[in-house]
Structure 1
Amino acid sequence: MSESLEEIALEEADFLTHITKPIRNFELIDNQELLINCCNNLEKDEQPYAIDAERASGFKYSQRAYLLQISSATSDIYLIDPTSMKDLTPLRQLLNNKSWILHAATQDLPCLFELELKPGEIFDTELAARLLSLPHVGLGGLLEDELQITLDKEHSAADWSKRPLPQDWLVYAALDVEFLHQLRKSLTQKLVDKNKFEIAQQEFKALCSWQSPGLRNDPWRRTSGMHEVRGGQDAAIVRQIWLKRDEIAQQRDVAAGRVLNDAGIVEIAAKKPKTVQELKDLASIKYRPAKNDAEIWFEQLQIALQLGPDQWPVKQKGAESYPAPKSWLEKRPEAYHRLQFVKAQLNKLSEELLIPVEHLCSPDLVKKWCWDKPTDQLETINKWLISQGARDWQAQNLAPVLLSSLDNPKVD
């Protein structure tokens, strides 16, 4: 430890202490020798390890980690630059199958998995806060509520691919893991007091094998403003330009929106400019970098315009797709009434357990059961929920609700 908390408290107001730099020493690890030394030092300490990752979202195409922050409860804080390492084996040997503390784990796990870093146990401070129905679940709000400290957060949206990293960015990065161990201790006690520790343990265990949803089929369909696209030909234009934009963004390793934003794609589809100059003059392109690639977008527009109706995109109908719930009353009224009953009961259960309704069960899973009604026995409902990915605690609470929906007078 380099300084006490009081020695760096610059201001106190309303019983909050504002922290501007880490209490502990921190070190940038940007070569192989330093990596080996820091892993050797951390290996001597007790788990869990507090871990965070910084990406360059909004700047780069990839979601790779450009900085890893790691510490034990008592160690210095190590800021590891994975882009400068030839071999991350020492880090994998240190962290794999060990206990980690993360905040908002699903944000960082994809880039950690990409580096072949895999936890044995996880404590997610954000998820713990959600299960406790705390008023704030972001790191800043939790630190204020639980530890009565505030941090500067002005570099959260920075381009972490930048080299060298400015000193104030490194300070910010170190603070992200500085207090995770203390936060874990505080939240653990609350989970125990509220009889939610076992629930949290099941949720944390599921995170260890969590998989990113990845790209959906036809990701171009999620283009912002797609609801304004009218007709198959316009959809074909959006698809053609989106795919080309994605290809260019990947080649340049630049965020797709910085190559051409979604508004530009939709406007090209809607207005179908007749010349390159007309395309350059579109409101969504005129003053943006996308103007430099206007000839590319115009070429893609021409390709899409030459497609016949049989080559236009068709409405998606996946193997397990379900109609919009608002149409259920007409198409399958018994399923509609089941869904309305289950939703109401889940809201009541959420209030009783003091757990947000979105954590009681996946909304898609509820819709799937209400539409298909795969079984009408409590034990088999419970087994079905588990087979669909529900945790034991979720199945135990949800199965009776689903079964009771069958006794609803409006349900068959």
Structure 2
Amino acid sequence: MSARAPHYLDTAESVDGFLAGLTDVRALALDTEGASFHRFVDRIYLLQLSTAEREAVIDPLPIGTPARLGGLLEDPQVEVVLHDADYDLRLLHQDYGWRVTHLFDTRVAAQLLGIRAFGLAALLEQFFGIKLDKKHQRADWSMRPLTADMLDYAAQDTRFLLSLRDRLHEELVRKGRWHWAQEEFTRAEGTRWEPEVPDTSFLRLKGARDLTRRELARLRELVRWRDTIAAELDRATFRVAGNEVLLDLARTAPSSRDSLFSVKGFPRGMSEARAQEALQAIVRGNKVPDADLPRFPKAARWDREPDFDERVARLKAIRDAAAADLDLDPGVLCSRDRMEAVARRRPRHVDDLAELPELRRWQVEVLGPAFVKELAGSAADDSPYKPG
């Protein structure tokens, strides 16, 4: 597991030449570097990949889409190993339209083994005694040129992934949980960003639900103001004005320059023109007719039976007992929203649980008989996981 000097590839010819040598590869470790901490719209600024023999860092900025890499990632015969794959998969689809078809996520594998410290650095230290250097964790990967030190740091994220994959796979097989992981990986392979309903991002700000509808109208205008500036500057939104600042402005509705700048956290370096635009945004929010004030969309309604919470509590007791026996985090074994779906369904047979898209097959296997027995008193198979 000695370190290898990565190839830095920033021309179409060098990328094609490197990838052409991987035609027989059946396992590929991958990572991406974005710049969401610095830029308004995140994209892929580096692609790091390692095989058992070779290692490269691809710079897509000067070359565009490295199409041959997409062919590898979409080949079902090539296992693509990532750590905490969700965001990488979304970026790969957003930027290139690629969909990984044979995934191994080392973070998910570690969680299914009951490992609580499942960050990449923690796992590498646990399994191999390797300590990763984190000094470039917040680096701006959109900047050029990149230093040799930064490139080596980026390469660390894939350098040991294949060895880690082998150790985790071995443990999953030993514990009889490999099929759990396979189901999770298959579900994750289609991960992508769903199209967003235009002009609704303000509703997702933490704390927005505590506002009145009039305050929500101001918040909507202030988010438009902030995001317009961030887009023009290609700067992360919090670097223009943080969400807490916008919430405070929506609540207090300052009407003068002095009152605007007196709000805690409002950028002191904001230009006069931008500050006036913020005041105008507040005025627009104040002028929205009452009938047109924004509101949160209504959640899907279902008849909440009087004993619903008690049913969920009984399922939770079963889940918690099973998690303790399996040495798993209870939330990994089965989240509350999935238990609520079971409680609403009130299954009479284990087969009924297959109709719940929220539940994995492996969760039905582990918890289904006990859930059914507890809720329906059916003749389901006995389970050791009973509420204490």
Does the TM-score normalized on the shorter chain lie above 0.5? yes
Per the alignment, residue 356 of structure 1 pairs with 329
Distance 1:93 1:99 in 2: 12
Partner residue of 2:206? 224
Which ranges of structure 1 fall in alignment gaps of 5 or more residues?
Answer: 6-22, 324-330
SS in 2 for 1:100: strand
Give the length in aligned residue pairs.
373
Once the two structures are TM-superposed, the CA of residue 117 in structure 1 deviates from its matched residue by: 2.8
Structure 2 gap segments, 5+ residues each = 378-388
Say if 2:146 is the partner of 1:165. yes
Structure 1 position 182 matched with structure 2 position 153: no
Equivalent of 1:122, from 103, 108, 116? 103
Hey, what does 1:307 align to over in structure 2? 288
Aligned to 1:390: 359
Determine if contact 2:318/2:371 at 8 Å carries over to the other structure. no
Cα gap change, 1:391/1:228 in structure 2, threshold over 3 Å: closer, same or farther?
Answer: closer
Match of 2:17 among 31, 37, 45: 37
> Is the contact between residue 203 and residue 296 of structure 2 (CA under 8 Å) also seen in structure 1?
no
- Letter in structure 2 aligned against 1:74: E
SS of match in other structure, 2:61: helix
Candidates 346, 355, 371, aligned match of 2:319? 346
Distance 1:73 1:322 in 2: 52
Provide the residue aligned with 1:53 in structure 2: 32
SS of equivalent to 1:83: coil
- CA separation of 1:360 and 1:288: change in aligned 2, threshold 3 A: farther
| Partner SS state of residue 21, structure 2 | helix
SS of structure 2 residue aligned to 1:402: helix
AA paired with 1:103?
Answer: H
Distance 2:192 2:337 in 1: 17
Question: CA shift at 1:407, angstroms?
Answer: 4.7
Contact map agreement 2:346 2:375 (CA 8 A) in 1: no
Provide the residue aligned with 1:262 in structure 2. 243
Cα distance in structure 2, aligned partners of 1:405 and 1:251: 57
Does the 8 Å contact 1:73/1:181 carry over to 2?
Answer: yes
Give the structure-1-normalised TM-score. Answer: 0.84
Asked if structure 1 preserves the Cα contact closer than 8 Å seen for 2:350 and 2:364, the reply is no
1:198 deviation in Å?
A: 1.7
Distance 1:403 1:222, change over 3 A: same
Match 2:53 to one of 70, 74, 79 = 74
The correspondence for 1:378, drawn from 342, 350, 359, is 350
Pick aligned residue for 1:148 from 117, 123, 129: 129
Q: Percent identity?
A: 28
In structure 1, the residue matched to 2:43 is 64
Distance 1:322 1:249 in 2: 40
Q: Which residue in 2 is equivalent to 1:9?
A: none
1:282 to 249, 263, 284: 263
Tell whether the 8 Å contact from 2:102 to 2:189 is kept in structure 1 after alignment: yes
- What does the per-residue CA deviation read over 1:211-261, in whole Å, with 9 as the maximum and x for residues that have no partner? 4466578331222343553x2211211122113323433343221111221
Give 1:365's aligned residue: 338
Cα distance per residue 1:63-82 (max 9 Å; x no partner): 2111000111111x111112
Deviates more, 1:77-86 or 1:350-359: 350-359
Work out the CA distance in 1 between the residues paired with 2:273 and 2:111.
45
Please give the alpha-carbon distance, in whole angstroms, between the structure 2 residues aligned to 1:267 and 1:292.
Answer: 20
Q: CA deviation at 1:292?
A: 6.4
SS of the aligned residue for 1:355 comes to coil
303-312 vs 241-250, greater mean Cα deviation = 241-250
Residue 332 (structure 1) shift:
2.9
Which residue of the other structure, out of 71, 84, 100, is the alignment partner of 1:93? Answer: 71
